[in-house]
Amino acid sequence: MGTKLYKRVYVWEFPVRLFHWLNAAAILVLVVTGLFIGDPLALMENDEAYKTFVMGTVRYVHFVAAYVLLVVFLLRIYWGFVGNKYARWKNFLPFGKNKAKKLGHVIKHDILLVPEKKEDYYHELSIGHNPVASTAYLIFFVLLAVMVLTGFGLYSQNASWWLPKLFSWVPPLLGGDFGTRLVHHTTMWLIILFIIVHVYLVIYHDVVEARGEVSSMISGYKFARWERFRSFVRRKEKIRKILEEPVEEEMMS
């Protein structure tokens, strides 16, 4: 007895994957440089100040990565309106049709780890984001927005370009640069917490469901049971019709 039949689905389009990895790289760089800026290492350096530019370089890298993050963030929002059904903005809302059952399934069997009773539970699995994940990504978008607002808000005072200056209203709202920095730094930690859970759950789903969760963000493909496809339903219908046809007469003659 073999496995069930699976079909390959192109879930994550190229821009989605590209944005994902650009984001991952930008966030990695931003967190590392950000932690350095918050608490720089002691340099055992005896040279004059003009000979080194460590902090300046780290800050520069931080700002470049911040621009990458901002651009990717905006492009991803755009893609939420033109991308395929798994990239659409509606995916990120926790409610909607058929979501309650899937949501319940994720909470019960993936978070609380209640053993599966049903033999075949593929109807409760999501092909794109599951409802818990999509809610987490919605919160993650908000965290990124907070980072962009506070980060560019802090940066705006030094900037001469109009774009960062658009954010100059942020620090007064948060009680000056003190409050803004605090929010920026604390939100970074929330993002780190998100990454820990995100990476764990991706591996978890790959191991538990074996539908190509990890590689899907590289290749774009995930695997879904054949029973979920219209073609299957149509074929089933056809077979049913054939089976129901009165065949005795022909056989008799």
Partner 1 sequence: MAIQSTRETYYEAIINQGYTRRDFMKFVTFMAAYLGLKNSAIGQIAKALETTPRVPIIWEHYQECTCCSESFIRSDHPIVADIILDKVSLDYTETLMVAAGEQAEAAKHETMKKYHGEYILCVEGSVPLGSDGVYCCIAGRTAIDQLKEAAEGAKAIIAWGSCASNGCVQSAKPNPTTATPIHKIIKDKPIIRVPGCPPIGEVMAGVIVHVLAFGKLPELDSMNRPKAFYSKRVHDSCYRRAYYDAGLFVESFDDPNAKKGYCLYKVGCKGPMTYNACGVIKWNNGVSYPIQSGHGCFGCSEDNFWDNGPIYERLTNVPGFGIEANADKLGKVAAGALAVGVGVHAVAAALSKRKEMRKRRKAGQANLQDIEN
Can residue 169 be called a binding residue for partner 1 (CB under 8 A)? Answer: yes
Can residue 42 be called a binding residue for partner 1 (CB under 8 A)? Answer: yes
Can residue 27 be called a binding residue for partner 1 (CB under 8 A)? Answer: no
- Going by the DSSP 8-state scheme, the letter that residue 106 receives in this structure is I
The strand ranges marked E within the chain are: 6-10, 221-225
Is the alpha carbon torsion for 8, 12, 18, 22 positive or negative? negative
Nearer to partner 1 by Cβ, of 16 and 154: the residue is 154
CA triplet 153, 32, 187: central angle to 5 degrees?
45
**Among residues 6, 9, 14, which one has the least CA distance to residue 217?**
14
Is the alpha carbon torsion for 160, 163, 165, 170 positive or negative? negative
Amino acid 10 reads Y
Can residue 28 be called a binding residue for partner 1 (CB under 8 A)? Answer: no
According to CB under 8 A, which one of 14, 158, 230, 243 is a site residue for partner 1? 158
To the nearest whole angstrom, how small is the minimum distance from the Cβ of residue 68 to partner 1? 22
Can residue 2 be called a binding residue for partner 1 (CB under 8 A)? Answer: yes
> What track of x and - describes contact with partner 1 for positions 100 through 119 (by CB under 8 A)?
-------------xxxx---
Q: Which stretch binds partner 1 (CB under 8 A): 90-98, 124-132, 205-213, 238-246?
A: 205-213
CA triplet 147, 153, 157: central angle to 5 degrees?
150
To the nearest whole angstrom, how small is the minimum distance from the Cβ of residue 182 to partner 1? 6
Judge contact between 206 and 213, C-beta under 8 A: yes
- Residues binding partner 1 (CB under 8 A): 1-3, 35, 38-43, 45, 49-56, 58-59, 113-116, 157-158, 168-169, 172, 175-179, 181-182, 185-186, 188-189, 192-193, 196-197, 200, 204, 207-208, 210
